[in-house]
Structure formats: structure tokens, C-alpha cells
Amino acid sequence: MLRQRDRTVRRAHGQQSLGRRRFDGVVVLATEGAAEPRLHDVGWELHAHYTRRAVPAPQHLDRAAIEEILPHRDPFLLVDEVLELLPGERVVARKTVTDVDCAGHFPGNPIMPGVKMVEALAQCGAVAVLSQPENRGKLALFAGIDDVRFKRIVRPGDVLDLSCEVEAVRGPIGRGKVRASVDGELAVRGTLTFAVET
């Protein structure tokens, strides 16, 4: 129900027009007398009054910046660069697979082990969580690996595009949907649960 001096906000999948404003994945329906919107939850519907939430710009991180966030080091740092980072929400990263990543697996037929691909995805997710100011200097540890599926072989020279969408966080425990692909072809996907050291 719309009230004077209010704006009602509903989640939307497509573009909206005429009397509606779109920001941060939410559509604002305007009514007379309302100023800029400020969002607060009211069940599935949101009401807005007077201020707008700022949406941070995605960040890009090189290897040195990643090492400031993650405690991992060579040969076990499996993220080469972060292409997009929204702390606590989303990470898109890249890993170029080398012979060292596949050493001994298997002689004459090098294949990146699935456990290393999952570790690369976990490190990707750890960047999202540990880049938050309240988690700087802490460790993020595995608490669960669910629904992981391997879809293609990954070899030296392949570039793994890694992504993690943080789904839920309760206290020190969180969960994220992860996926890795090579040239747009899915290599592995799954759900990882993590625990941040307190």
C-alpha cells in the first residue's frame, strides 16, 4: 500500500519506467511528497524515506594486494588477480594454470587436481570475506564443501575464471556459491561453507 510521503520498493527482474527509479537491484516506486529513499526491511516489501544507499564500485587487485588479504603464499596461493571485488558480497578472479599446479598429476598427462580447483575457489571466496575491515588479518577456514561437480579437465596453460557469490553469513560462519570456467566453459561449481577465525 502506498502512503503519502512514502515510496514502496519491490524487487524487480527487469527495467522499470515512468515514476520508478532503479538502484542496487531494487526498484523505487515514487509517490508525491517523498524525498530521496532510505531502505529498511518490512517483510518482503521495503519502504523508503529520504536517503539513498551508496553502492561501492568493484575493486581490482593484483597479486601483491591479494597477499595483503590472504595468508597463502607460493606454491599454494592459487589466485593470480582479482578482477572484481565487492567486499562481503562477490569476487571474480583469475588463475593461470601452470605445470607446478599439476606436478605429478599425472606424469605425461598433466591435469589440475580437482581439490586444487576447489581450493582456488575457496581462496577466491576468502578474498570477499577477509577484505572486509572487521575480518582483516583473520583466517577463513573450510567448514563444508557441498554439491561440487567437475565438468571439464583443466590443464597447464588454461586460464581459470573464478567467481564466488557470498549467499549467507551468520556470525563467523558463511556460505558462498562458487564456479570456475575456462574460455566460458564450466569446469567446476559448488557451494562452500567457511568459518572466519574469531
- Is the domain of 32 the same as that of 118? no
What's the total number of domains in the chain? Answer: 2
**Catalytic-role residue among 47, 49, 72, 105:** 105
In a domain, 134, yes or no: yes
Nearest Cα residue to 123 out of 64, 189, 69, 86 = 69
Range of the domain at 159: 59-196
Cell 542496487, located at residue: 24
Decide if 105 is catalytic: yes
CATH number of residue 177's parent domain: 3.10.129.10
- Is the domain of 83 the same as that of 157? yes
Count the alpha carbons within 13 Å of 145 in the hemisphere toward its beta carbon. Answer: 14
Q: What is the pTM of this model?
A: 0.72
DSSP structural state of residue 30: P
pLDDT tens for the 198 residues of the chain, in order: 334 333 333 333 333 333 434 334 433 344 344 444 443 433 333 334 334 444 566 789 999 999 999 999 999 999 999 999 999 999 999 999 999 999 999 999 999 999 999 999 999 999 999 999 999 999 999 999 999 999 999 999 999 999 999 999 999 999 999 999 999 999 999 999 999 998
pLDDT score, position 65: 95
